[in-house]
Structures are given as structure tokens and as C-alpha cells.
Amino acid sequence: MLGLIAIMGAYSAFIGYVAARWLPRTGALRWFIGLPGLWVLIEWFRGWFLSGFPWLSLGYAGINSWLAGFAPISGVYGLSLLSALTAGAVVACAFGTRRLRWTAVAMVALIWSAAWALNRMAWTQPAGAPLTVALVQGSIPQDEKWQIAEREHTFALYRQLTGQAFGARLIVLPEASLPQLANDLEPYLGPLERDAEARGSTLVVGLLRYQPETDRYYNSLFALGSPRSYYDKRRLVPFGEFFPVPAAVREWLRLMSLPYIDMTPGAEEQPLLQAAGTKLAATICYEDAWGSLGLSALRDAGLMVNVTNDAWFGDSTASHQHLEVARMRSLEAGRYQMRVANDGITAIIDPRGTVIARLPRFKAAVLRGSVVPYMGLTPYASIGNWPIVALCIMLLLLALAVPLLPTRRTGES
């Protein structure tokens, strides 16, 4: 934990070092160009380096503000840039020259008035009739989830909750909802699948699966029915789903009866899940924090689904932060999203990133609602992060290069 904190702190420390070492101490180059560009570049770099940690980008602070209007165009990193520019304007108003203060006021007025106008635009369109959905939140405590003594209770609970959800066109259970490999669950899943089909429902279930041909384990999301399909998680959690450690450490984990078998990431390109006559853009757990990860799926997918197990976080702010991440993904994509968490926060999110229904945390319950498939691509879904990254590179280079340019000297022939 200390190591992770030190690594995360090092990113911010690097921003401070570059600013202190090479950027001008005051002025527009520092406040409007250099620091905003540098901040967003480090956020983006942190999001993929050493498997990536894209959690808590600055742009998420704008999810409930007018700035959210830029999300379908620029994604969360665009919001980070605009937030940093607004912060720079505040500093300029406090410490800048009179001319710089007026420039800051004009810049903020332009950014926020444009954001207000963009919030009125619709980038995607409905592409089908409303679909009834039921999201199942089992609320199994993390310290009980994989206990053999609790297995039958878990099976019975999900059988009961799923039975309550029958009749909804689409029923979704959370990540790794059943504490057994999918390979061994046919006696449980088969009758449940048949009962669901008899009531006009399709089940989507988060399960772990084993591939004996390659001796590999996957964190997957299954769409039951005829035919069945599945999606394998692509972005795994270090030290949770795989262990980037030498063989000697792995042997110690084995001796200490600690987990030591790695999960395997799914292929970057996978067929879309199909359920209830609709194609789904799926993510598992915190891989929804990568805004660009599922953009290719949006060309064909009408709905988004995220299954997760945030029970690891306990009663902390992390689950609420994760919900904001999911809201940003819906806003960027212009799609309804079904978000199903083991103990919360289970919610239905509309294409504007608004939570239209949710369950209370730590309660076993079923959330019923209605979603509408949407089609069309937002500008961000078409182009991804590269325009913002390229812009920030140019801003940083400009801020670093201008002080090095020769100045004109007066009084000489």
C-alpha cells in the first residue's frame, strides 16, 4: 500500500518538478498553457503506464457541472484540461497583471458559456423500443463470498432474487456473482436459464471461467440463452487478478496459502455480447475507468453494461467515485448503462450521465427499470483521446520553448 501511494504521489511530484525547473514562475505561459497541458499529459500517461491507473482524473469533478457538455466531444481528459484552465484563470485573477486578469475572465466566460450550450445538444439517437431490465444486487459480504460454508446460501439468494426479476426482458447479475467456476455451474445455471426464458427474460451473469485447453482462468460476463456468448475482462487488477512478482515470491505465496494463480486478460477485440435482441458494450469492474477501452464496441452496441464487485471498498468514498466513472462513460458514449454491483452502487444511467434509478448500498434487492438502445457516435467515440493528448503536448512544448527564444534588444543598430 505504501508503495502504491508513493508511485501515485510521484506523478504529482513530477508535475511540480517540471513546473519549478522549466516553466516560467508566473504569467500566461505557466497558468494557461504549461501547467494545464502538463497535468493532463501526466493523467493520460498514468492511465496506461505499468498497466495503468486512470482512477480520479480531474475531469470527473465536472460531471455535475456545465463542463459535462464537453464530455461527448473531448472525453474526461478534455474536462481535465478545461478544469485546469479554469484553475489557472483563478490564479491569474489573484496574482496576474490587469491585462492578464481580463484575459482570464474572458477565457472562463468562453469555456463555460460553450459548455452550457453543448449541454443542450444530443449526439446519439434512440434506436429501438424501451427494454425492461432488472439488476440483481446480492450484497454478499466480501469476507463471506468465497467461504465454502456460505456457498449454498449464496446460490439460494441469487436464485430467489433472480426469480423476483423474472418478466424483465434483461436480467443482470454482478461480477463473479456465483462463487464457483462457470465450468461447474451447469446444474445451477441450466434450470435458471430455462425458467428465465419461459418468462421472457434473458440472463447476463458475471462468472469466473476456466479454459482447460490452455490452463487459463478468465473473469467473464456471460449472456445466457441460445446461443450463449461471453466477454472476458481485458484490464486486470495488479495483485488482485494477477501478480507481477518474480517466481520466488510466487512460491512464497503458494507456501503461505495465498492466491498465486494469475487470471488471463481477454482479447482486445471480442464479439459483442448479445442479449434480449440487443448488442451490449460490456466492461467488468474498474476497466470502465478507461474511457477509450470500449469505443470500438459503440459502432454496433446500443446499450452499455458494467458489472463490478465494489465490496472490497467497504463503506468508503470509492464506490461513489466508481459510480461517477460509470456516469462519465455513459456521457461520453451517449448510451444508457446498466451498472450492477455486488453490494452497491447498482444503478441505471441515462445517455446524459444522469442516474435515473439506484439501489441503496449493502441491501440485497432487485432494481427494475427501463432502458432504450441508442445508436450513433459522439465525437469522442469517433476520435478518442488523441486530439486532447496532441493538444496538451503542443501546449507543453510551447510553454517550454518560448522562454528559450531570443528576445529583441532595443537601442542597437
Count of CB atoms within 10 A of residue 324's CB? 16
**Rounded to the nearest 5 degrees, what angle is found at the Cα of 44, between the Cα atoms of 119 and 35?**
85
Q: Collapsing DSSP states into helix, strand and coil, what is residue 14? A: helix
Q: Which residues, 6+ apart, have CB-to-CB distance to 10 below 8 Å?
A: none
CA distances from 118 to 253, 322, 343 (A): 52, 25, 35
Annotation marks residue 285 as catalytic = yes
Between the alpha carbon of residue 383 and those of residues 72, 291, 292, 329, 332, the distances in Å are: 11, 12, 9, 15, 11
First-residue to last-residue Cα distance in the chain: 64
- The candidate with the shortest Cα–Cα distance to 269, out of 228, 299, 245, 246, is 299
Q: Which of 233, 241, 279, 392 is catalytic?
A: 233
354: left (phi over 0), alpha (psi -120 to 50) or beta: beta
For residue 352, give Cα distances in angstroms to 210, 241, 263, 331.
Answer: 37, 32, 34, 5
The CA distance from 41 to 237, in Å, is 23
β-pairing, 337-341 with 347-349?
Answer: antiparallel
Q: How far apart are CA 413 and CA 411, in angstroms?
A: 7
Element (H, E) at 220: strand 216-223
233 is catalytic: yes
Residue 363 dihedral angles phi and psi, to the nearest 5°: -135, 130
Which residue in the list 175, 193, 287, 332 is annotated as catalytic? Answer: 175
- Of 43, 285, 332, 392, the active-site residue reads 285
In sequence order, the 6+-apart residues with CB closer than 8 A to the CB of 63 are 71, 324, 327, 328, 331, 353
Which run of H or E residues covers position 200? Answer: none
Scan for cell 456473482, then name that residue.
Answer: 177
Structure-block grid coordinates of residue 171? 436480467
Dist CA 162 CA 334 (whole Å): 29
Question: Can 150 be counted among the known catalytic residues?
Answer: no
Catalytic amino acids? 175, 233, 285
